[in-house]
Amino acid sequence: MRTVGQVLKEERERKLYTLDEVEKSTKIRKELLEALEAGQYMKLPPPTFVQGFIKNYGKFLGLNTEKLLAIFRREYSSKKHPPRILESFSSPIDQKKFRITPARALGSVVLILVVVFFIYLWLEYRFLTKAPFLEITSPANQLSVDTPIISVIGRTDPEEKVTINNQEIPVDLSGQFTQEIKLSDNVNTIVISAISKEGKVTKVERTVFLKSTQR
């Protein structure tokens, strides 16, 4: 008894159709048509798809599709010809897309919170351990003056304490300070310190020379 593949092939060749022409008209890939004509069911998808191929192929050739399907059902045995799932059919199953589930969403939120918490701790640590800011705008270092009174001008963070030669001076709300000090003869070393609440200290030294006044 002829197989369904033999019937299709013989009719195709009798009508002088090529497999390329059949592929173009039926939208069935050439490799599947070749497997169907050769009865190589291991190279074909499950029987449901094969029956669809047979109906389309038979209709294209002008054959009785019901008789073709009857021949196929007698010929085909799922035990003798277990179907091979083609790559084109298995790919959508194998290549699973990433899906957001409630568990993954919760895990992501927890991870973000943990990262934010450790960043906060790190910033707090840096803030507590860094030395306070201190900038002196006057006097300049190695300055020579004629008068024994000069002004020390600078700025720091508003919450820091400022001392000049170990004497605390007032700091305004913006961190600015101005303090007049009296110089002694010759060389004067002025030490300005900013002290944080945590005890961190930043020091700036200025050397000021007092010129001798001739009488």
Mean pLDDT, range 42-60, rounded to an integer: 89
What ranges in 80-205 are assigned the alpha helix state H?
87-94, 102-129
Give the SS3 label for residue 168: strand
Q: Average pLDDT in the 150-168 region? A: 92
- Percent of the chain topping pLDDT 90: 47
Does domain 4-94 bear CATH number 2.40.30.170? no
- The answer to whether the pTM exceeds 0.85 is no
Q: Provide the residue ranges of all domains of the chain, joining segments of one domain with +.
A: 4-94, 98-129, 134-210
- What secondary structure letter does DSSP report for 45? -
What CATH number matches the domain at 134-210, 2.40.30.10, 3.90.1010.10, 2.60.40.10, 2.60.40.650?
2.60.40.10
